[in-house]
Amino acid sequence: MKNEKPYFVWDGINGDLEEFETIEEAKEFIKKNFDDEAEGIHPDVESVFIMKKILNTEVEVIKELNSGLGEKEYCRIIFQEC
């Protein structure tokens, strides 16, 4: 299953990974969740960061028929730029 959302926020405080369509959505998520009007900015907010996906990975299954030995199957990883 490929993820089509190119931006991720890694929440190092809670150990969560959130997905976003735009970098602005990711920024707003951080502001909304870690900058509280009553309590201020979370002291560990520096462990929260935005990542951008640059590669997709895919597995290709390759099957070969070996004479007298039957079918042999192996896989390879394919990397595709986003």
Is position 56 within any domain? yes
The model's confidence at residue 66, banded by pLDDT at 50, 70 and 90, is confident
What does pTM read for this prediction?
A: 0.68
Give me the pLDDT at residue 1, please. Answer: 44
Is position 69 within any domain? yes
Is position 2 within any domain? no
Is position 25 within any domain? yes
Is position 66 within any domain? yes
Three-class SS of residue 21?
Answer: coil
Closest among 36, 32, 37, 34 to 45, alpha carbons compared: 34
Is position 21 within any domain? yes
Give me the pLDDT at residue 2, please. Answer: 56
Range of the domain at 36: 7-81
Is position 48 within any domain? yes
Is position 1 within any domain? no
Q: 13-33, pLDDT tens digit by residue?
A: 889 999 999 999 999 999 999
Number of domains in the chain: 1
The amino acid occupying position 32 is K
